[in-house]
């Protein structure tokens, strides 16, 4: 019986489907339809997404619907739909619902359906980081040539190459999103991948610095503290402090002053800090008057009616509260809380499985075939641990940035949900695989 190896395998997804998903990720983030007008004119992205929907529904293995995140996503989506008829700006709300919410939710659905194993996850992350690499390269040369630099609020600021990331704050947020994955993948990468990650890190730092985004600066500081907390090693903490100090000394003066304005509230021009305080007061008043929300992206119109001012909230939490009401805010926060706690549980389980598989690998009674299976599991588990940490940090950074930007209708939350669900499903399978190795070895132990 010991030589009969019947181990659960990951769902079989065709290589073509995975490559199509990767192509869609690159196309979506780089906005190919805008870069190549001919493709935009034929609705290429819509056609591509439609093909993926058909593949995901008809040609992928049955999904595991037991993931604890699904009920929260369903409830959040229900609140979004219900808010539509009551919107104070219905035309705007319905446009955002179709063009952003449905579109971004499709990305989460595609990730959930197609990313069903560590190998699939590697393909997806490669596509995601490739798109970020391309935008980072454009930002790097845009800074050198000055083609993507122009004055904003008294500072020369780097702007993004696509409409989604054109605003410096959005471009900085994109670059910040790469750092958790660079940090997580570095220890398990070979020298060639490390070189690529290093170049991507340089591109990302260039964007974070020269976009002049105070939101980005705060997010970067938070990420540094996140690394310090995770490393728990004094020498690395000292290295990071030295790096931050050196950065402060070599960065051009205008960006140092921009950073200092976070604390002094004094700017060269624009008075954006004072405007943010004004927006916050207006948002609180509108929330008080409309505790059940004014509708998806209807805040600017309602604010204009109340105060003759139309800027949006510039705060994620006020955006949720004013748009979707107190019930929407509660559900959104519960969704994020559930996602983060689920990732934490997954990470702890992966660490335990790593110990179990190591025990199997070095057990004298394990056959060569079993040891080979355990060794394969160990490689997968180390990778999954890293990505779980990266996704947790990715969402945590977005929550910090949310204090300074309105990101409710952006891709970040759906991307996080999709990868988190995939990690949950993969974690379930690798747990079964480990348990089966114990049983084959004749050990009565459940993992």
Long-range contacts of 244-250 (CB under 8 A, 24+ apart): 247/209
Find the radius of gyration of the CA atoms of the chain.
23
Contact in structure between 117 and 9 (CB atoms under 8 Å): no
CB atoms within 10 A of CB 225: 12
At 314, is the pLDDT very low, low, confident or very high (cuts 50, 70, 90)?
confident
Q: How many residues does this entry show for the chain?
A: 447
Contact in structure between 442 and 360 (CB atoms under 8 Å): no
Q: Are strands 155-158 and 149-152 parallel, antiparallel or unpaired?
A: antiparallel
Which residue bears the tokens 């114990």?
438
Dig out the tokens for 414 from the structure.
Answer: 């759906």
Express each pLDDT in 269-284 by its tens digit: 555 667 888 999 999 9
Give, as one character, the DSSP assignment of residue 314.
S
**Cα–Cα distance, 48 to 50 (Å, whole number):** 5
**Cα–Cα distance, 438 to 447 (Å, whole number):** 9
Task: Judge residue 219's burial from the number of C-beta atoms within 10 Å of its C-beta, 0-12 exposed, 13-18 middle, 19 or more buried.
Answer: buried
At 258, is the pLDDT very low, low, confident or very high (cuts 50, 70, 90)?
low
Beta bridge partners of residue 152, listed in sequence order: 155
pLDDT at 447: 45
First to last CA, the chain: 21
Taking CA 326 as the corner, what is the angle to CA 321 and CA 332, rounded to the nearest 5 degrees? 70
Instruction: State how far Cα 16 lies from the chain centre.
Output: 25
User: Is 195 in a helix, a strand, or coil?
Assistant: helix
Taking CA 421 as the corner, what is the angle to CA 70 and CA 31, rounded to the nearest 5 degrees? 105
Instruction: State how far Cα 120 lies from the chain centre.
Output: 17
Express each pLDDT in 160-185 by its tens digit: 999 889 989 899 999 999 999 999 99
Residue among 307, 332, 309, 329 nearest 318 (CA): 329
pLDDT at 25: 97
**Cα–Cα distance, 381 to 353 (Å, whole number):** 8
**pLDDT of 444 above 60:** no
Contact in structure between 215 and 258 (CB atoms under 8 Å): no
The percentage of the chain sitting over the pLDDT mark of 90, rounded to a whole number, equals: 66
pLDDT at 227: 80
**pLDDT of 140 above 60:** yes
Instruction: State how far Cα 125 lies from the chain centre.
Output: 11
pLDDT at 246: 67
Express each pLDDT in 320-347 by its tens digit: 999 999 999 999 999 999 999 999 999 9
SS3 content of the chain, % helix, strand, coil (to 5): 75, 0, 25
Residue among 396, 384, 395, 386 nearest 424 (CA): 384
Contact in structure between 197 and 425 (CB atoms under 8 Å): no
Instruction: For 166-180, give one letter per residue: b (16+ CB within 10 A) or e.
Output: ebbbbbbbbbbbbbb
Express each pLDDT in 410-429 by its tens digit: 999 999 999 999 999 999 99
The full set of domain ranges for the chain reads 15-440
Residue among 402, 405, 10, 358 nearest 169 (CA): 405
pLDDT at 369: 84
pLDDT at 1: 40
Angle between helices 368-401 and 214-231 (to 10 degrees): 140
User: Is 404 in a helix, a strand, or coil?
Assistant: coil
The percentage of the chain sitting over the pLDDT mark of 70, rounded to a whole number, equals: 88
pLDDT at 218: 86
**Cα–Cα distance, 299 to 369 (Å, whole number):** 61
Give, as one character, the DSSP assignment of residue 188.
G
Which residue bears the tokens 């943010």?
276
Name the pTM for this structure: 0.92
């Amino acid at each position: 019986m010991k030589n009969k190896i019947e181990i659960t395998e990951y769902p079989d997804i065709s290589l073509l489907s995975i490559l199509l998903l990767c192509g869609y990720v690159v196309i979506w983030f780089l906005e190919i339809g805008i870069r190549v007008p001919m493709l935009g004119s034929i609705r290429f992205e819509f056609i591509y997404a439609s093909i993926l929907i058909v593949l995901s529904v008809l040609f992928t293995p049955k999904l595991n619907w037991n993931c604890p995140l699904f009920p929260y996503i369903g409830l959040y989506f229900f609140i979004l739909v219900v808010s539509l008829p009551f919107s104070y700006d219905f035309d705007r709300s319905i446009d955002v619902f179709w063009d952003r919410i449905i579109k971004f939710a499709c990305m989460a659905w595609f990730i959930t359906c197609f990313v069903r194993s560590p190998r699939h996850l590697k393909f997806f992350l490669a596509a995601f980081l490739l798109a970020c690499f391309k935008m980072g390269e454009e930002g790097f040369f845009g800074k050198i040539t000055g083609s993507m630099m122009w004055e904003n609020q008294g500072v020369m600021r780097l702007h993004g190459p696509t409409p989604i990331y054109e605003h410096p704050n959005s471009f900085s947020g994109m670059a910040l999103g790469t750092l958790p994955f660079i940090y997580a993948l570095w220890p398990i990468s070979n020298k060639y991948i490390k070189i690529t990650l290093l170049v991507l890190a340089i591109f990302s730092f260039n964007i974070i610095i020269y976009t002049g985004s105070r939101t980005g600066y705060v997010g970067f500081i938070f990420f540094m503290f996140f690394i310090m907390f995770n490393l728990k090693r004094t020498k690395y903490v000292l290295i990071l402090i030295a790096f931050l100090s050196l950065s402060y000394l070599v960065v051009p003066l205008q960006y140092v002053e921009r950073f200092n304005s976070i604390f002094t509230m004094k700017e060269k021009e624009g008075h954006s800090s004072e405007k943010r305080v004004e927006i916050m007061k207006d948002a609180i008043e509108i929330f008080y008057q409309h505790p059940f929300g004014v509708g998806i992206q209807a805040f600017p119109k309602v604010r204009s009616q109340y105060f003759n001012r139309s800027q949006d909230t510039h705060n994620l939490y006020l955006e949720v509260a004013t748009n979707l009401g107190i019930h929407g805010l509660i559900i959104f926060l519960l969704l994020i809380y559930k996602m983060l706690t689920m990732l934490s549980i997954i990470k702890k389980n992966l660490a335990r499985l790593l110990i179990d598989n190591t025990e199997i690998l070095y057990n004298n009674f394990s056959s060569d075939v079993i040891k080979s299976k355990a060794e394969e599991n160990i490689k997968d588990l180390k990778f999954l641990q890293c990505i779980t940490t990266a996704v947790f940090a990715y969402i945590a950074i977005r929550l910090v940035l949310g204090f300074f930007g309105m990101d409710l209708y952006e891709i970040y939350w759906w991307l996080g949900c999709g990868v988190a669900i995939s990690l949950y499903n993969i974690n379930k399978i690798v747990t079964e695989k480990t348990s089966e190795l114990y049983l084959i070895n004749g050990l009565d132990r459940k993992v």
